[in-house]
Structure formats: structure tokens, C-alpha cells
Amino acid sequence: MILSELENTHSAERIAQSIIDKLTAPFTLGHDVAYVSASIGIALYPGDAADIDSLLKHADQAMYLSKDQGRNRYSYFTPALQQNALKRLHLTNDLRNALVGDQLIVHYQPIVELATGNIHKAEALVRWQHPTLGLIGPSDFIPLAEESGLIIEIGDWVFHQAAHQSKRWQLSHNAAFQISVNKSPVQFRSNNFASNKWLPLLQELGLGGRGISIEITEGLLLNAEGNTKDKLSAYRDAGVQIAIDDFGTGYSSLAYLREFDIDHLKIDQSFVRNMETDPDSLALCEAIIVMAHKLGLKVIAEGVETEAQRDLLKLAGCDYGQGYLFSRPVPAEELEVLLVRGNTIDGIV
């Protein structure tokens, strides 16, 4: 949008805020209440750039800042943003090299059965061992991977590693051991699903579908198109289990729990974190557990960090816990130690 003849910069702010207010108002979609977010970037002529192409580029950089800061806001372009954009470009190029340079590694965080302390599951979490920046967590490079399309190749690589590891642990420790792998909406909506190697790999390894669980978001199901539904059905037909990650933070409708064949709900860590001191968070956790069990679903609580949280979850009937109370995400060989010592874990590792 080009605004000419503005009296001052405050005029741009008023217009931007008005647009955000209009776009973020709730609206009815079928029988549900839906929301959209809006992020706006502002670049000013001639201070920020003297030509239209540069102005558009700078406004785009400012828009991404608004997204990174939580959306539903506007941001101005600054020279620092341009420097950050260059860093992102360099990091994206480095990420392309990481795929072929053996710089990606997978860590595993155990998922513990709360009633017994046994480790029956683990979540596969990718890390990037950058040659100069050191170990980089997923929050710092997965958004870049999604923007650049590299998430498809990275996701395939992580799944390959997790499937082979799941098979090894099934043979050596527990025939029912399961590893969960995150699959982002970008991956699900990719058009190259026909060449997807995930299901053929499971067949090649002789790995039953229950050896792998796929974690997806609430948003993917609420906005699921026919193509997405077909892909989910393909996984379910192969016996692969489906978990809803960060449950409770997304949308007002729970109708998708009836429509889709879901196996696990993962309670978002924001509810678990506050359940000791906030009665509402505790009540929400208890309600999610009761609802899930009535629907035949198992519940995993994320972000369990204290014994008090664990005990409250056990009392509420939660099936599994995951968090730093039990273990941080660790390399496969470190989780192997936990499995060898008895497959039981009660405290901090």
C-alpha cells in the first residue's frame, strides 16, 4: 500500500492501526468463530529509500519484525533491520550447506509414563551444529527453513534418523517404543507429497506404524483442506499415530477432534507452568485430561519442570509427562543410558 501526501509519520501509524483493528476482528466461519492476524511494515520516503523497489524491500523487512514480535502490530524500518536481514540471508545460505555437510543432529527428549516413571516414548528435536556459531536451537533456524522451503528436506532427514533410531530401541529395549516427529503445516501443504519417503521407509524397516507418531498443530486441522485430510488419512491407514502439539493455545472449536482420528493431545507448557499457582490453569489441565479420556485419547503434558507439577498431573490422571524435570533433549547415546539403567525416570537428569 502506498500512502502519499501524509501530514506526518503519525498519520501512517493511525492508518496502520486502523487496518490491524479491522483485520483482527473475530468473524463467523461456518459454526465457528475465527480470527486472522495482521502484521504491517512501514518504510518512509525519502529517509528509508529513494526508489520504489528499495522501499518495498524495507517495508517487507519491517513487516517480518512485526511477525517476530507477536503479530497484530506495525513496525518501522530501521538500518538495523537491514543488517538483520543480511544475517538471515547468510544464515539461510549456511543452512543449505548444513544439509549436505552433516551439521544437523537429532536430540531426543524422553516422554515418561507418569504412573510408573517408565520411558515409552521420546520426541525427536533437530539441532544445528554450526561450524562457527556453535549449537543452534530450532527456534532460531526452523522459521528460516520454512520461509526458504528447506523444511521439506530437513523434515525428511529428521524422520529418517528418528525411524532408524526407533527401530534400534524397539529391538534393544522396548518393542513398543515410539518416537514422535514434528511435521509443520508447510510440510503438510507441500505439493511433493507424492514423492514422500516417510511411509515407504517404515515398510522398509519393518517398523510398525506405532513406532512413529507425528505431531501437528491445531491450526493445521482447523484449516485442513481436502489435500491435507488425504495426507493425514494416508498416515493413519499406515498405522502412524497423530498427536496435537501445544493443545489449548490455538482455536475455539474442538469439532476437529471428532472429525480426525487423533491419538494424543499434548497440553501446552504455558498451562503446566502456571498450574501450581493459577487455579484456572490447573482447571484447564484437568478439563483437557477428562475430555481427552472421554474421547479415547491419551494426554501428554509438556514443560513439566517441578515435582509439584508432576504430582498434580498424576492426580488429574494425565498419562505422560515431558520436560526438564525428567530430562532435557539429549543425544541418542545419552537417552540410551537412561533406557539401559532400567527404563525408569523420576527426577531431573
CATH class of 9-77: alpha beta
Pairing state of beta strands 104-113 and 330-331?
A: antiparallel
Q: What are 213's three cell numbers?
A: 507418531
3-state secondary structure of 302: coil
The hierarchical CATH code for the domain 92-340 is: 3.20.20.450
Domain ranges (residues) in the chain: 9-77, 92-340
Q: What are 81's three cell numbers?
A: 533491520
Per-residue pLDDT tens over the stretch 212-234: 999 998 878 776 666 777 888 88
Q: What are 302's three cell numbers?
A: 509438556
Q: DSSP assignment of 7-74, as one string? A: SSHHHHHHHHHHHHHHHTS-EEETTEEE----EEEE--TTTT-SSHHHHHHHHHHHHHHHHHTTSSEE
Angle between helices 151-172 and 198-205 (to 10 degrees): 20
Q: What's residue 69's pLDDT?
A: 78
Tens-binned pLDDT, residue by residue, of the chain (349 aa): 887 777 676 788 888 888 988 888 888 877 777 888 889 988 878 777 788 888 898 888 888 878 877 788 888 787 777 777 777 778 888 999 998 888 999 999 999 999 999 998 999 999 999 999 999 988 889 988 988 889 989 999 999 999 999 999 999 988 889 999 999 888 887 766 544 678 888 888 888 667 899 999 887 877 666 677 788 888 888 888 999 998 877 655 577 777 788 899 999 999 999 999 999 999 999 999 999 999 999 999 999 999 999 999 999 999 999 999 999 999 999 999 988 876 555 554 4
Contact between 188 and 231 (Cβ < 8 Å)? yes
